[in-house]
Amino acid sequence: MKIHPQEPARLELAQLPTPVVKLKQLADIAGVERVLMKRDDLTGLEISGNKVRKLEYMVAEALEQGADTLVTHGGFQSNHCRATAAIGARLGLRVRMVLRSDDPDPPWDGNLFLDRLFGAEVSYHAADVYRSQLDRLICEVMEQERAAGRRPYFFPVGASVPLGCWGYVRAVAELAEQVGSDQPLDIYCATSSAGTQVGLMLGRALLGCENWRILGVPVSDSVEYFHSELRKLERATVERFQLDLSPEETPIDLVEGFIGPGYAIPYPEAVEAIRLLGSSEGIVLDPSYTSKAMAGMLATVKRQPAERQPLFLHTGGSFGLFACRGLISGEG
């Protein structure tokens, strides 16, 4: 059933609803009454996390257009790419990936190992080439697929385009049924390609959850950059789907200071968050996204009014942890 008249077609791939759990030990350590977690690391497709919600809409459109090949891009430990590879294997679709890696032959570990296990065809490109020539690289892959008689469908990293944002509009409806739309809720999430936070912002406004706040923790760029990117994607989604929403109805809230040295580079507070959640709750965070977002929430939550309920959105990515096991264990 549609959650909104403008909701586009969706292919049901995720195992939903994902649970909301209380983190009692973590709340005691943080010195707050209660901390909730939305376990979107449990969406299925080999623990593909938040990516599956977005890809339900992207792949539905791909199949509607008769595509037989999915083309996407990202870092060589990209959760999004791994989720795309898993979906391709599940549905019998070919998958091509353009991956960013300064190592021309990176070790098969973490998500990259799973990309290959799921049968994706990958190519590696140094970071400077990836940044400056990505459009050309994608066009070459699309042309190769068409020349081979295939029908490729492209979507960018994170599926963070207006269509993909509906994954987290729908997640808001699911969460509202679980915890109630009226309670003063602070939802913390990692922000990188922007689609998850924009979907939450739009869902909050469309579904009447005015007492909720969506607090993104940037993990890959500056707050100034994300204010611009989030608003651009939010406005593009509003325009494409003719949603009657003003920018004032979708406020942007960001928690600053938790990127560390850079994207996918762990730092002490993030490593401590991984160890803390593992030892206190038996929950695995990843070094690129959820550990930094958790560090941001833990540093922020004590400063919030006591009546506001913190909820952490666990977006998955735990396979990326194994590529950094030496650092996390203290041996690297």
Is 246 a catalytic site residue? Answer: no
- Which residue type sits at 232? K
SS3 call for 188: strand
CA atoms within 13 A on the CB side of 115: 31
CA separation for the pair 159, 184 (Å, rounded): 29
SS3 call for 7: coil
Which residue, chain included where needed, has tokens 């941001």?
296
SS3 call for 125: strand
Residues 6+ apart with CB under 8 A from 107: 323
Q: Which of 48, 78, 160, 291 is catalytic?
A: 78
Please answer whether residues 315 and 289 qualify as being in contact, where contact means their C-beta atoms are separated by less than 8 angstroms: yes
According to DSSP, the residues that pair with 120 across neighbouring strands are none
State the catalytic residues.
Answer: 78
